[in-house]
Amino acid sequence: MSDSMMSHTQSSARSLLPPGRPKAKGSPLGEQQAEGAAWGPFFPPLRFLLAPLVALTLAACAVGPDYQAPQAPVAEQYARQDAAAATLPVPEADAPFWQGLGDPLLQSLVEDALRANHDIRIALARYEQAAAVSRERRQDRFPTLSASGEISDRRASASQAPGMSRAERDGEQHGASLSAVWELDFFGRVRRAVEAQQAETDATAADLGGVQVAIVAELADAYFRLRGLQVQIQVARDNETNQGDTLRLIEALLDNGRGTSFDADRSRTQLALTRARIPPLEAEAAVAAHRIAVLTGRTPAEMAAVLDAPVSLPVLPTQVNAGAPGELLRRRPDVAAAERRLAAATARIGVATADLFPRFTLGGLIGTQALGFGSLFERDSETRVISLGVGGNFLDIGRVRARIAAANSAAAENVALYERAVLRAMEETENALVRLSRAQAENGTLTQAAEASRRAANTARLQFEGGAINVLDVLDAERSRLEAEDLLAQSATRRATALVAVYKTLAGGWPDALPAPQGESVARR
């Protein structure tokens, strides 16, 4: 117990002394020993009061509203979900899902990001901090214990002890005590505070899950964009080779008197434009690789050699079963976080309402004091105090009711935030599903266009070599091939990133645990 608390409990004890009871004279120690002895007749009735007080505390009701999870209106199915998707199993978007795409590097990157990404580590630290505060808040339901000890060597002044020698004015004092203070939670203030903090901890855990989903989705998005850009670069280089062959053929014909310089210049122009496509694509690919490195907790230089080697985009599932919208709301971390913060705001109404009533605290102290260390544990050196305190802000009605109004407004705000989170979750999922569906349709059409453009370019080359068509037809066919193949590569990237967006919005099946410091693991709540 602190000095102030000890003084408070001792003053409370002095106020309960029977009138006319003589106090010890002389040193403060003698006075405290006399007060401790005076408590003897009063301990039996106080002990009889303790049991009913404890029972009343345990049985007391908590003021304020009891929280009930809101019922958000949810449609039975998504507005534009493909009918065929309902018959397919739900793919899991966790690490085994990424492994199922047949890209071991992607799988390894996902695991590295979950372990080393700084945003995830920050969110994990915030969760651990909130969990620690929650554990501390739960301790408020029990008595607060403290211990203290003191050894002092004192000298009274000559004016305080007239006629006494210097040696007689010197003295030692020794003491030790164990104290306890307990708020008797008659009106549930402590219980509501514990409830609010636990809900905040659950919300922080949901935030951690949301960061996890966002980081893995961003990593996969950057990885697919990198692979798509590498495909575009390869397409441009392949067309550069073909157009270079065409230019050499035209120059050979020109040397033999069959071509014109105009045809050669047009061919050189097209070849230069194709070559000009490559540097911007290489820059974008480097940017994507740098982003992947940072997401996995590495420097860009560490991952350059690993990511610069071109790899084709993995084979993706053709359909995704998004499940029912109600299942979405149970999976989304942002919705869960908003719901838990609404629960915390509701509990804080009870905390504020409890201030309308007095706070009762039960305090006690047991200790020993003596002038010499050898006498510290002798009979009659003990001290003891027990007190029942009443306090709080219950007389300041205006301020208390203002705090209650503020708590009610905060709860109303969190209701709106929860409803907004639900609607945004539905909007994002609907958008992601329709984009994936349209990206798949686009990719199918562009695949046909790219195949046709390749056949047309090869045919045009053969006919030009045979003299059946002029050089303009060949250049036009090669330009169409480049555009079609480049659009197909972009479409494949959009389809892959659209799939990532679907799994991000569904937030289902992601890893349930994150690596914690010192080899521990913290489950996502």
Give DSSP secondary structure letters for 274-334. Answer: HHHHHHHHHHHHHHHHHHHHHHTT--HHHHHHHHSS--PPPP--S------HHHHHHH-HH
Q: Looking at the structure, tell me whether residues 328 and 384 fall in a common domain.
A: no
In contact, 317 and 492? CB cutoff 8 Å: no
* Beta carbons within 8 Å of 350's beta carbon, 6+ residues apart: 62, 63, 64, 65, 188, 189, 191, 192, 195
Residue 372: predicted pLDDT: 67
Q: What local confidence, expressed as pLDDT, does residue 346 receive?
A: 96
**Residue 312 and residue 176 share a domain:** no
In this structure, the answer to whether residues 179 and 54 fall within a common structural domain is: yes
Cα dihedral angle (236, 239, 243, 248), rounded to 10 degrees? Answer: 100
* Predicted confidence (pLDDT) at residue 516 exceeds the cutoff of 70: no
pLDDT above 50 (res 342) = yes
* Whether residue 205 sits in one domain with residue 119: yes
Cα–Cα distance measured from residue 407 to residue 412, given in angstroms and rounded to the nearest whole number: 9
Q: Which domain holds residue 177?
A: 1-68+145-155+168-184+362-393
pLDDT for the residue numbered 100: 67
- Beta-strand ranges (E) seen in 83-169 are 144-155
Q: Quick check: 119 pLDDT over 80?
A: yes
Q: Clarify whether residues 309 and 272 are in a common domain.
A: yes
Torsion angle (degrees, nearest 10) of CA 3, 9, 15, 18? -120
Q: What pLDDT score was predicted for residue 58? A: 54
* Distance between CA atoms of residues 168 and 151, nearest Å: 19
Compute the average pLDDT of residues 73-77.
65
Count CB-CB contacts under 10 A for residue 288.
Answer: 21
Asked if residue 161 is part of any domain, the answer here is: no
Return the closest-CA partner of residue 370 out of 24, 39, 33: 33
Do 229 and 279 belong to one domain? yes
The answer, yes or no, to whether residue 194 has pLDDT greater than 90, is yes
Kindly give, in sequence order, each residue whose CB lies less than 8 Å from that of residue 36, ignoring residues fewer than 6 positions away.
Answer: 382, 383, 384, 385
Q: Is residue 160 part of a domain?
A: no
> Which residues pair with residue 151 across a beta bridge?
174
Residue 97: predicted pLDDT: 62
| Statement: residue 51 has pLDDT above 50 | yes
Query: What are 140-191's pLDDT values in tens digits?
Result: 999 999 998 888 877 778 777 787 877 777 777 777 888 999 999 899 999 9
User: Quick check: 408 pLDDT over 90?
Assistant: yes
CB 350 within 8 A of CB 64: yes
Over range 438-443, report the average pLDDT.
Answer: 90
pLDDT, mean over the chain: 79
Instruction: Judge if 229 and 201 occupy the same domain.
Output: yes
- b/e 33-66 (16+ beta carbons within 10 angstroms → b): bebbebbeeeeeebeeeeeebeeebeeeebbbee
CATH of the domain at 81: 1.20.1600.10
**What confidence score (pLDDT) does residue 256 get?**
81
Long-range CB pairs of 50-57, under 8 A, 24+ apart, other chains included: 50/362, 53/184, 53/360, 53/362, 53/388, 54/184, 56/184, 56/186, 57/184, 57/185, 57/186
Q: Using alpha carbons only, what angle is made at residue 402 by residues 398 and 407, rounded to the nearest 5 degrees?
A: 150
Identify the bridge partners of residue 383 per DSSP, sorted by sequence position. Answer: 367
Residues 149 and 199 in one domain: no
Q: Which of 125-129, 142-146, 252-256, 285-289 has the lowest mean pLDDT?
A: 252-256
pLDDT > 70? residue 37: no
Lowest mean pLDDT among 106-120, 162-176, 444-458, 500-514: 500-514
Q: What is the pLDDT of residue 330?
A: 75
Confidence at residue 90, expressed as pLDDT on a 0 to 100 scale: 38
Residues 443 and 349 occupy one common structural domain: yes
343 and 224 in a common domain: yes
Summarize the confidence of residues 81-91 as an average pLDDT: 41
For the chain, the C-alpha Rg in angstroms (whole number) is 39
| Residue 144 structure tokens | 């607060």
The C-alpha atoms of residue 246 and residue 19 are separated, in whole angstroms, by 118
Assess whether pLDDT exceeds 80 at residue 16. no
pLDDT at residue 44 in the model = 45
> Would you call 211 exposed, middle or buried from its count of C-beta atoms within 10 A (0-12, 13-18, 19+)?
buried
Report the distance separating Cα 290 and Cα 493, nearest Å.
Answer: 18
The pLDDT assigned to 61 comes to 76
Across the range 308-327, mean pLDDT stands at: 74
Using the predicted structure, report yes or no on whether residue 509 has a pLDDT greater than 70. Answer: no
Confidence of residue 77 (pLDDT cuts 50, 70, 90): low
Co-location of 78 and 37 in the same domain: no
When pLDDT is averaged across residues 325-349 and rounded to a whole number, the result is: 88
> Rounded to an integer, what distance in angstroms lies between the CA atom of residue 224 and that of residue 159?
89
What percent of the chain clears pLDDT 70, i.e. is strictly above it? Answer: 77
Does residue 390 or residue 36 have the better pLDDT? 390
Q: Is residue 163 part of a domain?
A: no
Task: Note whether residue 283 is domain-resident.
Answer: yes
Residue 457 lies inside a defined structural domain of this protein: yes
Per-residue confidence at 91, pLDDT binned at 50, 70, 90? Answer: very low
Domain membership flag for residue 347: yes
Q: Which residue has the higher pLDDT, 112 or 90?
A: 112
Instruction: Name the pairing type of β-strands 382-391 and 359-370.
Output: antiparallel
CA distance 168 to 300: 79
At residue 499, the pLDDT reads 87
The answer to whether residue 46 scores a pLDDT higher than 90 is no
Domain total in the chain: 2
For residue 513, the model assigns a pLDDT of 36
Q: Residue 78: pLDDT above 70?
A: no
Looking at the structure, do residues 309 and 251 belong to the same domain, yes or no?
yes
Average pLDDT over residues 267-276: 93
- Distance CA(389)–CA(351), nearest Å, equals 20
